[in-house]
Structure 1
Amino acid sequence: MLGNRLKNEIADLILSGRMRPGERLDEQSLASRFGVSRTPIREALQQLGTAGLVEIRPRRSARVRALSMAELESSFEALGEIEAICARYAAERMTQAERISLKLLIDQSRVASRQGDRVASRDLDARIHALLHTGAHNKALCSVANETRMRVELYSSAPYTLPNFDTQLHVPHGQHEQIVEAVLNRDPEAAHRLMIDHIGGSFLVVKGILEEASALATAGGDEPAGRHPYGHVAHLFGDTAVKALTGWTGQTAAGPFDPPKPSPDRSGQGGA
């Protein structure tokens, strides 16, 4: 359907970083870009608004939604629980063909991590999670998992943009390998626990990156962005998103998203 195709193509513009948080989404410009009328564009934006990627503003242009730290934490917390349920059900319900496909993906991920191929690793990261969603064999759960992951994907993929992260790809791969092993061994409890740990750890890394980006944005240029270890990330989230973080007090809810503060070296983690 045209609406779904447009929704996916606009979502890709956002998730790839070509459209940044806070950026206006002009219906006429998008209609011209995709060679369609404004009506299907408006419908696609409404769908993306429901998914949490777009902010719909009455009588004004929609814009890419910029999540505050509190919203981001809530989304990651929800994602962790949803993904963990998917992993639990996948361990119990995956077909043999799906298990073979999952084994193939984790083998490919191992090769990509050893080769320092961050592009392939990021793609395989997404494909492993997607297969766990479908392998849960619960359409309602799969839909919620996909929408929640879409909401945080721009942020959760940020570690893959870090300098020298190609030397750290073994860390997210190792976490995925443990989850996959639990699923293939039909151990739902281990799969659930490992996924919670994986998503929680990913949130800590993203939080750390955003704290650095926020500090960079408010420091007044003491160190040029080009030399700052997270300088390249500040523009990825856009001015609106970075400024939204400056009021964050650091208070977090109890639970898996209230672990000890991570060490300054935040490159050894990532890839929700």
Structure 2
Amino acid sequence: MSVTPLRDRIADLILSGEFRPGDNLDEQALALRFGVSRTPVREALHQLAPSGLIEMRPRRPTLVKRLNPAQLADAFEALGEIEALCARYSADRMSQIERMQLSEIMKRGDGIAARNDRELYRAVDSEFHNAVHEGARNASLHRLASQMRMQVAPYGASPYTLPGWSADLSVPHQQHKRIAEAITARDSGSAHRLMAEHIALSSATFQTIWSDKTMQEEAASKLRRKRRS
């Protein structure tokens, strides 16, 4: 496997939630997993570093980048403004074919959300937001939106796959449908407002989940240190 596909495979593992914020990306373990030597793994990680998904430090383990609560809040705040602007522009600029395609995405999501299939819904979520980015007809906004979603993706994707976390997918799906309906109706003001609300609610949910998870990890770490002492 060459370096570029290897880089993309590692990124997929992070974006899918298999590797989570703070996880160690061990070069030897990755080399064994993909049947390659450590050299292409190391190069793939170097190529992935500018994306903001991982943190590489000299003579220290490479980690899936972990944002502190303030950084995560800042990232979601910026993402909300960018996504809302994309939704506004999409309502004004999407072609009729693109509006029909957006409606088809929502129809596919209906059954997936009804079954509460978290893994499949993650793909629908990504497809929906990508369609809104592309429909905005603004390359700079599209690039910024993609970069910001990449930054928060390990937090946004993980709840769909966290063991024991029972997400009611009808909630985000209904939010998506209302945004899609506003875009299809060319109601740019409602599309902007609904997308901003959607990202704000997602931010609150994900920050609560990761705050609780961090507290649990800190408590477990303290317990381990106490047992060793």
State the TM-score, normalized to the length of structure 2: 0.83
Separation in 2, partners of 1:140, 1:113: 32
Partner of 2:150: 150
**What is aligned with 1:269?**
none
Change (3 A) 1:212 1:201: same
Amino acid at match of 2:150: M
Supply the RMSD in Å over aligned alpha carbons: 2.5
Cα separation, partners in 2 of 1:24 and 1:164, compared to 1, 3 Å:
closer
What is the distance in 2 between the residues matched to 1:40 and 1:143?
Answer: 27
CA change 1:182–1:3 in 2 (3 A) is farther
Counterparts of 1:207 and 1:24 in 2: how far apart (Å)?
21
- For structure 2, the residue ranges without an aligned partner over 5 or more in a row are 222-229
Identity %: 46
More helix, by proportion: 2
Shift of 1:219: 4.9
Q: 1:144 Cα shift? A: 2.0
Distance 1:89 1:3, change over 3 A: farther
Letter aligned with residue 145 of structure 2:
A
Residue 72 of structure 2 is matched in structure 1 by 72
Tell me which residue corresponds to 2:86: 86
Q: Are positions 1:164 and 2:163 aligned together?
A: no
Is 2:37 aligned against 1:45? no
Unmatched tracts of structure 1, length 5 or more: 221-238, 240-272
C-alpha deviation, 1:7, in angstroms: 2.6
Q: Which residue of 1 aligns with 2:108?
A: 108
What is the CA deviation profile of residues 14-36 of structure 1, one whole-angstrom value per residue up to 9, with x for unaligned ones? 22233233333344554554455
CA change 1:13–1:164 in 2 (3 A) is closer
Greater shift, 195-204 or 155-164, is seen at: 155-164
Change in 2 beyond 3 A, CA 1:37/1:199: same
**1:16–1:181 CA distance, 2 compared to 1 (3 A):** same
Instruction: Tell me the TM-score normalised to structure 1 length.
Output: 0.71
Letter in 2 for 1:199: I
Evaluate the alpha carbon distance shift between residue 46 and residue 124 of structure 1 in structure 2; reply closer, same or farther with a 3 A threshold. same
Query: Do the aligned partners of 2:17 and 2:158 also contact (CA within 8 Å) in 1?
Result: no
Instruction: Name the SS for the 1:72 alignment partner.
Output: helix
Shift of 1:154: 2.0
Residue in structure 1 matched with residue 225 of structure 2 by the alignment: none
Q: SS at 1:157's partner residue?
A: helix
The aligned residue for residue 270 of structure 1 is: none
> Which string of whole-angstrom CA distances, capped at 9 and with x for unpartnered residues, describes residues 201-243 of structure 1?
11111122123223433556xxxxxxxxxxxxxxxxxx7xxxx
Find the counterpart in structure 1 of residue 122 from structure 2.
122
State the one-letter code of the partner of 2:166: N
Report the AA paired with residue 122 of structure 1.
Answer: R
Look up the match of 1:226. Answer: none
Q: Report the Cα distance in structure 1 between the residues aligned to 2:215 and 2:33, rounded to whole angstroms.
A: 36
Amino acid at match of 1:49: A
Matched residue type, 2:184: L
Distance in 2 between the 1:211 and 1:61 partners?
23
Q: What is the Cα deviation at residue 123 of structure 1?
A: 1.9
2-side partners of 1:186 and 1:13: how far apart? 37
Query: How far did 1:61 drift?
Result: 4.1
Aligned partner of 2:192 in structure 1 is 192
Q: CA deviation at 1:47?
A: 3.7
Tell me if the contact between 2:53 and 2:151 (Cα under 8 Å) persists in the aligned partners: yes
